[in-house]
Structure 1
Amino acid sequence: MKQFKGTRKRGLVLTSAGLQRLQAAILAVEKTQNKGDRFTLEELRIRMNVSTKTLSRLWSLNTGVDQKTLKLCFSAFNLELSSEDYTILNEPNNTPSNKSLSLSVDTEEVNLSQPLYTDLFVNQDHEPLENLWSYPDGPVALDSPFYVDRPPIEELVYREVTQPGSVIWIRAPREMGKSSLVLRLLAFAQMQGYHTVNLNCNQIDASCLTDLNKLLRCLCWRVATELGIDPKLNDNWNEEIGCKISYILYLKSYLLKQLESPVVFVLNDVDSFFEHPEVAQDLFACFRSWYEAARQDTNLQKLRLVVVYSTEVYVWQDINHSPLNIGLPIRLNEFTEKQVEYLAQRHGLNWSADKEVRQLMSLVGGHPALVRIGLYYLCCQAITLENLIEEAIANGGIYRYHLWRHWSILQEKPHLAKAYAEVVTKKQNSSLNPVDVHKLESLGVIRYEGDRILPRCELYRAYFEKQLSTIVE
């Protein structure tokens, strides 16, 4: 195997059996020595005596480490490494010899221009790039070469979803890449042999959002139906003991009891629940109860919950009752210069980080959707970067449909439009209603700079300053 200059030889990845054995040992130590609390990455690093970068390689299942490192990690949890725990990366394509792990790998040192998961679900026999270009609307498809990894986020969620009874909270404003990440998380779960259920909460009837009993029954019915199980809600729901206890009993004594493999249940766009604070508090209290009960119940441990939302959760007055202090919190940020440069290269553009990349980012920042739209037009519509920026500032240009969507939302909510007008006109905004600020963040039209609230990018500032000027007092 090829030896890379300046680095140790790396050529082994964990098999799914090895990963499960190591994670089971970690879980056992967490229960006996850490009061059941999960080890942080830093605690694992210290215990295993390896770097956090090495841990990222280890959990990725697609980036090689050396045998000495594997032995060190296993021995830290009183395990002896066996041949079934790992597989060898083959030359010349650096692919695992175990065909069940057909993942793209890079055995060189990791950097942002060569992300760990870029090609995880991508067919390497792609047709020419120009045949792949389509208008970037919605999540990035699994087989698209235009997905940009944001290390260590992918590694963290992949590892966490394999943990018994885990909860993952994925937060970001709209069009920041939540759905694209969820697609890959679900695909990874399916590769592990897990069941998956993906529910958009905007599909739930409004009548359920004001009645906790209806909402819990709706969620249980949806999970059962997606899994091909007869819901039999009336037979397994006792109104006398209340919906909260019925919900837990239904999960552990009926639904999950019938399954051998874990279930990954994704709740997308839970922001709609926040419009009904009392029901939202009770619902997430149920999630917390389930999470705590799962520590002792093997059936409940089969359920892995992923909650996806756009804004800060502001319905809990007491932080001790908030569900956000359980599970793994993930927040998606904007692309960095390196990530934008990488994506431009994926589009066939030979861009420099200190020139073209900065020019585009001076307009749209690192907003994933706006960067993708810009690159699409530069590649497909014979427009120059200079013209793109000039037209966008003048009248919205290629971003006009994106901007119109935001503008129509603001027009429907005059109080929200007025609040945003204060932001884009640089008025004192420290007295803005916190709920309005949360909603503006959910839309993705603002960002924070210390204590200041600013338009997310220059494009938004220039466009909405003109649009909102008529309502500024």
Structure 2
Amino acid sequence: MTLKQIKTKRRRGVILSPRGLQRLKDAMLSWEILENHGDRITLDQLSQQTNLSAKTLSRLWSANKGVDQKTLKLCFNAFNLDLQKEDYIFIQEDNEIESLDFLSDSSYLETERLSTWSYPDGPVPLNSTLYIERPPVEELIYREVTQPGCVIRIRSPRQMGKTSLVLRLLDFAETQGYHTVNLSCSQIDDQCLTNLNKLLRCLCHQIATKLGIEPNIDNKWDEEVGYKLVCSFYLQNYILKQINNPIVLVLSEVDHFFAYPHIAQEFFALLRSWCEEARQNRLWQNLRLVVVYSTEKYVSLDINHSPFNIGLPIRLNEFTHQQVEELARRYGLKWGVGKESLQLMSLIGGHPALIQLALYYLSSGTMSLTELIKDAIANGGIYRHHLQCHWIKLQANPHLIRTYTELVSTKQGVVLDPMDTYKLESLGLITFEGDRVLPRCELYRTYFARQISTLGLQSLSYVNLS
């Protein structure tokens, strides 16, 4: 039965505190997983769950206009939470506001998702509106994966959006009727990474299992012909012969192999042989290979021996100003064109993970943009963990610390040795301005200058090109 619209005048005296907001988000996330098949709750569903109107919920979620405690209690109780004093903050409002408290006609309910964003510490979920496309990347890989026997290489420093892109590539492949297998090399036991036979058996077992095929490894594995050859025979004569449609095989985090040079050399040679087979063998044309890796471990590799250099290369770039402003809009932030986005990007550039983290905190109302920037410059702020991870990598390479000192000690940019440039770019620590090399962003400059000063390296000279 539809409840009648009831207009009341009520002094709305509380808003969600950061603690209350987080408690409610966590409870809603659990509800989405357990009750909603992992799909994000819509405003329509939330209205039904809480018995509150869409208008009231929007007011509650904006956290900039007060509601009464009864409204908060209804919302919390709907997700089996008790409203506590720490969950809300009292505010003063001079004007009484006319509102609709309880569910009215269903025409008032919207179907757009609320901004109940999860903490951005992983890939952007497939159904999230927070994924920002970076043309022409998506179009390129969607087109390439339809090509027989193709190979796609997706590489960049960590936290640039590789996994989010792969999720969308796999989804596209499934809409084409392709089979998909997504394997993370970081999940392979270390004992397999010192023995090529164990590694290839492990991979073949996972491929068969994910395709719903009985692995039958022992009966199909004749080691007498050699490990790489028997692996190829297994895929060709056992897997590909059973599967008529194309198979998109994603090998993620293959940089995990870089720490085992002999294994990596043999493994990547095997992948190249599959690519060659696809040029002449119809069965192999059904295998579409996607290799994904982070470039940080390039630091330990010989620049003259690329681990894998065939297929379509994809390197993810930073967000543009327009893309940052669009993402801010999706987070519900009302930014002026070229204003707040420029302030944020003057600190962190367009680094996808750092931008997402900033917008998450700004949209939750826990800090202002000015506070975020000030705190980040002072001590790293919300980026402290990210910066510490980079500092650990630099400390493992003393020569690079000396080189990076040159960069953070001047505003003009410097010319570096090509090998150092290659390694620092692989770590994601630099950007380019013509032939000059600069720290990737102002946050990196200030943070690493402070860290380096503790090592007494400020006396190093640098090449000033001004």
Cα distance change on mapping 1:157 and 1:443 into 2, 3 Å:
same
Shift of 1:274: 2.1
- 2:450 maps to 466
- 1:265 maps to 249
Counterpart secondary structure, 1:246:
helix
Cα distance change on mapping 1:241 and 1:452 into 2, 3 Å:
farther
Counterpart secondary structure, 1:199:
strand
Cα distance change on mapping 1:212 and 1:315 into 2, 3 Å:
farther
User: Conserved in 2, the CA contact under 8 Å of 1:421 and 1:472?
Assistant: no
Cα distance change on mapping 1:198 and 1:416 into 2, 3 Å:
farther
User: Conserved in 1, the CA contact under 8 Å of 2:253 and 2:294?
Assistant: yes
**Alpha-carbon distance between aligned partners in 1 of 2:313 and 2:154, rounded to the nearest angstrom:** 6
Is there any run of 5+ residues in structure 1 with no aligned partner, and where? 1-123
Pairing partner for 2:201 from 207, 214, 217: 217
Deviations 1:125-149 (A, max 9, x none): 43222xx222211100111111100
- 1:167 maps to 151
**Alpha-carbon distance between aligned partners in 1 of 2:250 and 2:401, rounded to the nearest angstrom:** 32
Aligned residue pairs total: 343
Pairing partner for 1:341 from 325, 335, 354: 325
**Alpha-carbon distance between aligned partners in 2 of 1:276 and 1:442, rounded to the nearest angstrom:** 19
Pairing partner for 1:393 from 377, 392, 396: 377
Counterpart secondary structure, 1:144:
coil
User: Conserved in 2, the CA contact under 8 Å of 1:418 and 1:471?
Assistant: no
User: Conserved in 1, the CA contact under 8 Å of 2:303 and 2:419?
Assistant: no
**Alpha-carbon distance between aligned partners in 2 of 1:432 and 1:471, rounded to the nearest angstrom:** 25
Shift of 1:173: 1.0
Once the two structures are superposed, the pairs formed by residues 281-430 of structure 1 within 5 Å of their partners are 281-311=265-295, 314-315=301-302, 317=304, 323-324=308-309, 326-411=310-395, 417-426=401-410, 430=416
User: Conserved in 1, the CA contact under 8 Å of 2:414 and 2:436?
Assistant: no
**Alpha-carbon distance between aligned partners in 1 of 2:215 and 2:239, rounded to the nearest angstrom:** 8
Q: TM-score, normalised by structure 1?
A: 0.67
**Alpha-carbon distance between aligned partners in 1 of 2:305 and 2:353, rounded to the nearest angstrom:** 35
Shift of 1:409: 4.4
Shift of 1:330: 0.8
State the Cα RMSD in Å: 2.5
Structure 2 letter corresponding to 1:463: Y
Cα distance change on mapping 1:225 and 1:417 into 2, 3 Å:
farther
User: Conserved in 2, the CA contact under 8 Å of 1:280 and 1:315?
Assistant: no
**Alpha-carbon distance between aligned partners in 1 of 2:435 and 2:427, rounded to the nearest angstrom:** 19
Cα distance change on mapping 1:126 and 1:414 into 2, 3 Å:
farther
Greater shift, 239-248 or 399-408, is seen at 399-408
Are 2:186 and 1:194 equivalent residues in the alignment? no
Cα distance change on mapping 1:317 and 1:463 into 2, 3 Å:
closer
Cα distance change on mapping 1:364 and 1:428 into 2, 3 Å:
closer
- Over alpha carbons, which structure has the higher Rg? 2
Is there any run of 5+ residues in structure 2 with no aligned partner, and where? 1-109, 458-466
User: Conserved in 2, the CA contact under 8 Å of 1:337 and 1:353?
Assistant: no
Structure 2 letter corresponding to 1:185: L
- 1:156 maps to 140
Pairing partner for 1:236 from 214, 220, 235: 220
Cα distance change on mapping 1:415 and 1:198 into 2, 3 Å:
farther
Deviations 1:397-417 (A, max 9, x none): 222233233334445665655
**Alpha-carbon distance between aligned partners in 2 of 1:202 and 1:425, rounded to the nearest angstrom:** 37
Shift of 1:157: 0.8
Structure 2 letter corresponding to 1:227: L
User: Conserved in 2, the CA contact under 8 Å of 1:392 and 1:459?
Assistant: yes
Cα distance change on mapping 1:316 and 1:381 into 2, 3 Å:
same
**Alpha-carbon distance between aligned partners in 1 of 2:143 and 2:204, rounded to the nearest angstrom:** 26
- 2:125 maps to 141
Deviations 1:331-367 (A, max 9, x none): 1000011111111111222323432111111000000
Shift of 1:179: 0.7
